[in-house]
């Protein structure tokens, strides 16, 4: 009879384990997901449409199936659960959007508005590491501001065990609706913000799959 393993339970679980046990299916932007919660309340979104107050999914990414660059009009919060850290790649519509939703705000309103007036859309790129090692600069959760163009990839570098997946929850408010979901090709984004060529080539579809 073999001795019990001292390895963390999480390290023994594969992407296939989570896909099977959580009932995940492929998402158009990449990765695997399942919707887990919907608000019973409705609110208006930035486009003036009625949406549920919030929605939530489980979302699993692998190195071969990242979340490709896309856009929502709602804020989306990513919360780490298991696996490797992930990197959220964000092209901010407005460089001050992160400050507007931070608690406490990172800059006074007048300073934020002055900076916003000077910068064209999608000129500022952020890469945020979402994972458990808060002593290594990772965060347990990160909110992508509505209107940003963003995607996420598994960060298997470092000492996290390189299990080959990241498992998170994503909470969208106002709630997710495919009518508000935009995927981008590399060609489209190179026309919009060519200075971000490296992340565009890494994270955007060459051709959007049908």
Give pTM, 2 decimals. Answer: 0.87
Dist CA 79 CA 170 (whole Å): 6
Dist CA 128 CA 16 (whole Å): 26
Contacts for 17 with CB less than 8 Å, ≥ 6 apart = none
Based on DSSP, count helices (H) and strands (E) in the chain, helices before strands.
Answer: 5, 13
Handedness of CA 32, 77, 169, 80 (dihedral sign): positive
- pLDDT score of 2: 46
CA Rg value for the chain:
18
Dist CA 153 CA 66 (whole Å): 5
pLDDT digit string (tens) for the chain, length 210 residues: 444 444 444 557 999 999 999 999 999 999 999 999 999 999 998 888 999 999 999 999 999 999 999 999 999 999 999 999 999 999 999 999 988 888 876 555 544 455 555 678 999 999 999 999 999 999 999 999 999 999 999 986 654 457 999 999 999 999 999 999 999 999 999 999 999 999 999 999 999 997
Burial class (CB within 10 angstroms; exposed 0-12, middle 13-18, buried 19+) of 11? middle
- pLDDT score of 1: 45
CATH of 9-180, one of 3.90.1150.10, 3.40.1160.10, 2.60.120.10, 3.30.450.40: 2.60.120.10
Domain ranges of the chain: 9-180
- pLDDT score of 48: 86
């Amino acid at each position: 009879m073999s001795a019990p393993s001292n390895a963390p339970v999480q390290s023994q679980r594969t992407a296939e384990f989570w896909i099977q046990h959580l009932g995940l299916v492929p998402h158009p932007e990449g990765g695997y997901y399942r919707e887990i919660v919907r608000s019973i309340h409705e609110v208006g979104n930035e486009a003036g449409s009625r949406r549920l107050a919030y929605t939530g999914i489980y979302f699993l990414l692998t190195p071969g199936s990242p979340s490709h660059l896309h856009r929502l009009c709602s804020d989306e919060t990513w919360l780490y659960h298991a696996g490797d850290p992930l990197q959220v790649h964000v092209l901010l519509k407005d460089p001050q959007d992160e400050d507007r939703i931070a608690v406490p705000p990172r800059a006074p309103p007048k300073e934020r508005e002055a900076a916003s007036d000077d910068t064209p859309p999608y000129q500022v790129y952020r890469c945020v590491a979402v994972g458990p090692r808060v002593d290594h600069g990772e965060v347990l959760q990160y909110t992508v501001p509505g209107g940003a163009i963003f995607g996420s990839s598994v960060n298997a570098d470092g000492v996290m065990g390189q299990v080959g997946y990241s498992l998170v929850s994503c909470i969208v408010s106002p709630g997710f609706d495919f009518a508000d979901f935009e995927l981008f090709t590399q060609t489209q984004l190179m026309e919009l913000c060519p200075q971000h060529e490296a992340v565009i080539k890494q994270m955007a579809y060459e051709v959007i799959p049908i």
